[in-house]
Structure 1
Amino acid sequence: MREIKSLIVYFLKNSSKTLGKTDLMKFLYCFEYYFYQTYGRQYSDLKFIRYKYGPSTPQLDAAVDELRQEEIVNVFSVDLSGGKKFIGHELILNGEIPEYYSLTREAEEIARFIVYKLGNSKYEDVINFAYSTPPMAAVLEEERRLGISLQGRRLELDMSKEIFKMSRERREKARLRMQNRERVRGSDKEYYEEYLKTYMDFENTRRRVRECLN
């Protein structure tokens, strides 16, 4: 549970917008997906299922409840039109976050990437980003093919390859494209590592520029 709570604290501290429950859910899912694709394992024991609004886990509520009891996070609601409510989360710490809730270097790099991608995104963009990942895309394609809802289906974070049914000709073309791509970029793990390294290099350069201007 500590890893999950540490991620929640990081996202609340570093996002430039107030995070609702759906935001936090998708941040956690996207973090674990990219962490798995980069390092071949999960950072926490989070388990996600396909739910009404995409990836979901009951473990979020349990983690937030513990953070509330520890007086680290406050949860509030805002009435919206149509009888809907926005459930927001905010840090209420005075001073530094306890060392207990710090992330490992690997986890912080992925979490920083997620904040960079989603930390100021609109609600719909966060949803679309989560829906575009192969685990969710595979479930959506199967729902389309079967004509039924698969709510409750476990999302497998190790999924990273082509998910759609293809003709033999299209499969062969896709195989050749993948071979060419692998020769250029290496394995999926290497691809994500390089993708994150490029982002981190960009962040380091931007930080140095800011330091020179101040």
Structure 2
Amino acid sequence: MEKIVCALWGVDNVALLAGLPDALHAAGARGIRINIRDEAVAAGAALIQKWQEPQQEAVVQYWLPSANAIFRAGADKTIAGHCNRFAAWLVAESTIIANREHTPVSGQRTWGWSQASFINFRSDLDRMEAMNVWHSHHTRVAIDTQSNFEYVQNLVVRPLTDDAPEYDAFVEECFPVEALTDPHAFFDAVGDPAKFKANLDDMMDSCGRFIQFGRIDIIPTSQYDFG
């Protein structure tokens, strides 16, 4: 099985959630997840970081036996019918923190909210060097300094569509509702200013070691899983 991540532009959230999962399933997809930008996460607008203009409005993640174009055609056609434009990437998934605290229920919105991050590695680092920082250093920092109850890293293997923006990775992290608007809740430091500063400083320092700021798209989303 191979995992595909798609960014979508020009979507109708209601139609996307109602029609895409069954249609993708019929096209052979499994493990379908849809992340949308909706009213439930509107309060987190300050968390948005933008590179693409316009910025992606939704993310679709799913698995196929093969991501080769001839076997992906049905899924591509289905996704194209639910948006004005989409871009797709083949990724390698690594589940750092599985969501066992608020287990997703098929077809229902997952508790809290999900930060969907499309990132690029620093241009002055070669890919292996950046990956080493990400996997061997930053992963531990992200676990220790945040209130995330799900954390999934997806390394981009290759783009699958001609117009796909050049990203190196897609990261998804789920947080409590309070973390949408309260930085102290985001950094797991409610009522503890010293811990908040330490966690914030550690995270920013770690991100700066491998992420190319200015070439990232970070959006708060509502997460929906479909069996």
Q: TM-score, structure 2 length as denominator?
A: 0.22
Greater share of helix: 1
- Larger strand percent: 2
Pick 1 or 2: higher relative contact order, CA cutoff 8 A, min separation 6.
2
TM-score of the superposition, structure 1-length normalised? 0.23
